[in-house]
Amino acid sequence: MSAAASPGEAPGPMIRVEDVTIGYGERIVMSGVSFEVRRGEVFVILGGSGCGKSSLLKNLIGLQKPMKGRILVGGRDVAAAEGDERQALLRSFGVMYQSGALFGSLTVHENVRLPLDEFTDLSLRQRDVLAHTRLKMVGLGHAGRRMPSELSGGMKKRAAIARALALDPPLVFLDEPSAGLDPVTSAGLDALILDLARNFGITFVVVTHELLSIFAIADRCVMLDASRKTLVAEGKPRTLADSSEDQAVLRFFRREAEGAQTDRSQPK
Amino acid sequence: MPASATGIEVGKAQDGGAFVSLTGALDVRTVGAARRDLVVKLAGVLTEPLSVDASGLDSADVSGMVVLWELANGLVVPGVRATISGLRPELEAILATYPSPDEVEAAISSPAESAGIHSLGRGALSIVADVRAMVEFVGALTSALVAGLRRPRAMRWPEVLRVVEKAGVDAFPLVSFVGLLVGLIIAFEAAQPLKQLGAEVFVADAIGIIVIRELGPLITAIVIAGRSGPALAAELGMMKVNEELSALETMGLDPLRFLVVQRVVAGTLLAPVLTLYSVALGVAGGCIVMGMLGYPFAVTWAHLQGAVHPADLLVGTTKGVVFGTLVAGLACLRGLQAGDGPAAVGEAATSAVVSGIVSVFTADALFAVLTYVLKI
């Protein structure tokens, strides 16, 4: 089913990136980037460290304006939106930041309840129930009373996902959801993302370089390359890994250092 | 874009109870209105047993389903638990994820406040623990200082100079401003009552003694405690949060010897210099007021020479040394005691200001008693 609403209701792709150039001041991080994110898919932005994945994400969520080109979310230009339109657009998607970005002065429960407090006219009991339900969904039903500083890295990320989902957004951005997590916790997060995507029709844009996660969750992905400063591949991860003709893409998926054989489990 | 509303139909069921039929969308945007609509429509209808048919829902989300949860738990019509039917399996699954009302209550209610006697005890224990930490810190710091002075080459003097510059040299404008104003204010305040006694010229004596022995060192220490203390505490607190202190320890470097000693030595060196500077400006402020009152500088100077003894300067400078050491030492202690997270850095900085000022005034009171007893 599709429980998603606004900008999920607008026709066309969920996100359209049109010939975008991104940079800071004079320095160009990437240019000529174009791709589309379809409704209901789990879309992964991947690439090595320092290739501009997080910069691209900042542009997608409207924290930074592209130097050139347009980014449309739900058919609306993120950079051009101002005032109430911008607020409405920002509320229509959830974002999980790399560090979790939970508010340190609020309990975990209050963190998750905050968007409901601010943007809905639900009663306190309803908001409490919804916040607790979100925390249960990410496996943190027991941790609502704790302060963010008392949570482990993985718990912070899960709490941040619960907060990103609080307003039932049709689109959720996740920045490095599994970085720094153990494989079991990381697999749990992957399962949660898939579950939410399949059952609620939520579109996920995930920035990551964790290969296992990419294969587990991605319907499609784009790969950025630091040296060429642009997008170098787009497609299903398995297809790219098996049949890409781009050496950088193959090296990434095969975890090969340039010119070196690093897999010690392989017989020589 | 406009949200499609939730259709709510309420009627009497064949079994004598009531039924609610839901259609359309039940999501985060429509749920508030749907809940109010439902309460209005159910008012006055015989509602037990209450059954809800949700088969007509086109779409729903977790937020929207909260109304169904309330119906099922008897929270819309108090005490009447509705039977929900017709939900699609995925929506059924969402509803199953919802907690029971008791579970929510237990998950968010804060633990009962403990009785006053308990908090009194905890407060006392934390004061004891704090005093103990300070004593331990003084011991460890003294030992590190002695070790540092024995091997002055290992002192990392560039770091000492950096702190002197940051905490001392950069504080000169503020100290100048406050020092001069203190001299001016004291002189003006003293001039009025002394004039009534015909002793206006003794303003110079008062300035000399008050500024040199008391206010100069005190005001300088407060400036350092308010300006440089929190900076030292925040710097060390940030290093702790960033695990830099742990990195030092695992490299076999004692943070006390590597970081704290330099800061305390810097505080001890810079405070008396700043004190003397502030005293000079305070006296200058007093001289300006004396000039405005019509006394030539020579008269003021003669009175100052008569009233101020070398012992007064010694007391003022000694206070500067002690206050500087206390403020820098306590600021470092608070920085090292910082907890986890950015908020802890702010707390450490606040705590450094409070302990700095409390310790300076306590030490000043001890000085007052000591100089009285020793007749200095």
Q: What is the pLDDT of residues A132-147, one digit of tens each?
A: 999 998 888 899 999 8
Do B281 and B145 sit in the same domain of this protein? yes
A158 touching B, CB under 8 A? no
Bridge partners of residue A175, in order along the sequence = A207
Do B86 and B150 sit in the same domain of this protein? no
Q: What is the pLDDT of residues B319-364, one digit of tens each?
A: 999 999 999 999 999 999 988 777 789 999 999 999 999 999 999 9
Lowest mean pLDDT among B12-16, B255-259, B298-302, B315-319: B12-16
Do B227 and B260 sit in the same domain of this protein? yes
pLDDT the model gives residue B128: 93
pLDDT the model gives residue A82: 86
Do B242 and B342 sit in the same domain of this protein? yes
Lowest mean pLDDT among A186-200, A235-249, B2-16: B2-16
Report yes or no on A134 lying in a domain.
yes
Q: Could you say which residues from 96 to 115 on chain A have a Cβ atom under 8 Å away from some Cβ of chain B?
A: 104-105, 109
Our measurement of the distance from residue A137's CA atom to the centroid of its chain's CA atoms, rounded to an integer in Å, reads: 18
Domain that holds residue A144: 103-168
Do B66 and B171 sit in the same domain of this protein? no
Out of B77, B108, B139, a domain closes at B108
A88 touching B, CB under 8 A? no
Report yes or no on B116 lying in a domain.
no
Do B158 and B87 sit in the same domain of this protein? no
Q: Where is pLDDT greater, at A199 or A158?
A: A158
Distance from the Cα of B6 to chain A's closest Cα (Å) equals 14
Out of B56, B79, B108, a domain closes at B108
The answer to whether the CB atoms of B75 and A125 lie below 8 A apart is yes
Residues of A in contact with B343 (CB under 8 A): 104-105, 149
Instruction: Give A267's pLDDT tier (boundaries 50, 70, 90).
Output: low
- What total of structural domains would you count in chain B? 2
Report yes or no on B348 lying in a domain.
yes
Beta strand A220-225 with A76-77 is unpaired
Domain that holds residue B75: 6-108
pLDDT the model gives residue B47: 67
pLDDT the model gives residue A3: 40
Reduced to 3 states, what is the DSSP secondary structure of residue A74?
coil
Report yes or no on A139 lying in a domain.
yes
B96 touching A, CB under 8 A? no
Rounded Cα distance, B3 and B24, in Å = 10
Do B146 and B238 sit in the same domain of this protein? yes
pLDDT the model gives residue A247: 87
Q: What number is the average pLDDT over the span B126-152?
A: 89
- What total of structural domains would you count in chain A? 1
Report yes or no on A120 lying in a domain.
yes
pTM given for the model: 0.70
Q: What is the pLDDT of residues A41-92, one digit of tens each?
A: 999 999 888 888 888 999 999 888 999 999 999 888 988 888 888 888 888 8
pLDDT the model gives residue B6: 84
Do B100 and B180 sit in the same domain of this protein? no
Residues of B in contact with A203 (CB under 8 A): none
Q: What is the pLDDT of residues B103-119, one digit of tens each?
A: 888 887 766 666 678 88
Interface probe for A, chosen from B37, B90, B108 (most Cβ of A below 10 Å), is: B108
Report yes or no on A130 lying in a domain.
yes
Distance from the Cα of B149 to chain A's closest Cα (Å) equals 40
For B29, the closest chain A residue by CA position comes to A120
Report yes or no on A44 lying in a domain.
no
* Token digits of residue B17: 């109870």
Average pLDDT of chain B, as a whole number = 89
Report yes or no on B238 lying in a domain.
yes
Q: What number is the average pLDDT over the span B195-210?
A: 90
Report yes or no on B113 lying in a domain.
no
Residues of B in contact with A4 (CB under 8 A): 61
Checking if the pLDDT of B311 tops 50, the result is yes
Rounded Cα distance, A143 and A131, in Å = 12
Rounded Cα distance, A59 and A37, in Å = 15
Q: Could you say which residues from 186 to 215 on chain B have a Cβ atom under 8 Å away from some Cβ of chain A?
A: none
The answer to whether the CB atoms of A132 and B107 lie below 8 A apart is yes
Instruction: Give A154's pLDDT tier (boundaries 50, 70, 90).
Output: confident
Rounded Cα distance, B201 and B203, in Å = 5
Report yes or no on B115 lying in a domain.
no
Do B14 and B42 sit in the same domain of this protein? yes
Average pLDDT of chain A, as a whole number = 86
For B107, the closest chain A residue by CA position comes to A144
pLDDT the model gives residue A1: 38
Residues of A in contact with B63 (CB under 8 A): 116, 120, 122, 130, 167-168
Rounded Cα distance, B259 and A80, in Å = 50
Residues of B in contact with A111 (CB under 8 A): none
pLDDT the model gives residue A2: 39
The answer to whether the CB atoms of A136 and B99 lie below 8 A apart is yes
Report yes or no on A238 lying in a domain.
no
Distance from the Cα of A74 to chain B's closest Cα (Å) equals 11
Q: What is the pLDDT of residues A184-228, one digit of tens each?
A: 888 888 988 998 888 888 999 999 888 888 999 999 999 998 888
pLDDT the model gives residue B4: 65
Residues of A in contact with B27 (CB under 8 A): 3, 5, 168
pLDDT the model gives residue A87: 84
Cβ proximity of A145 and A107 under 8 Å? yes
For residue B76, the domain's CATH number is 3.30.750.24
Report yes or no on A142 lying in a domain.
yes
Instruction: Give B251's pLDDT tier (boundaries 50, 70, 90).
Output: confident
Residues of A in contact with B32 (CB under 8 A): 120-122
Out of B54, B77, B108, a domain closes at B108
Checking if the pLDDT of A7 tops 70, the result is no
Report yes or no on A69 lying in a domain.
no
Checking if the pLDDT of A99 tops 90, the result is no
The answer to whether the CB atoms of B59 and A5 lie below 8 A apart is yes
Do B143 and B94 sit in the same domain of this protein? no
Instruction: Give A258's pLDDT tier (boundaries 50, 70, 90).
Output: low
Bridge partners of residue B12, in order along the sequence = B18
Which residues, at least 6 apart from A206, have a Cβ–Cβ distance to it below 8 Å?
A: A42, A43, A44, A45, A173, A174, A177, A193, A213, A217, A218
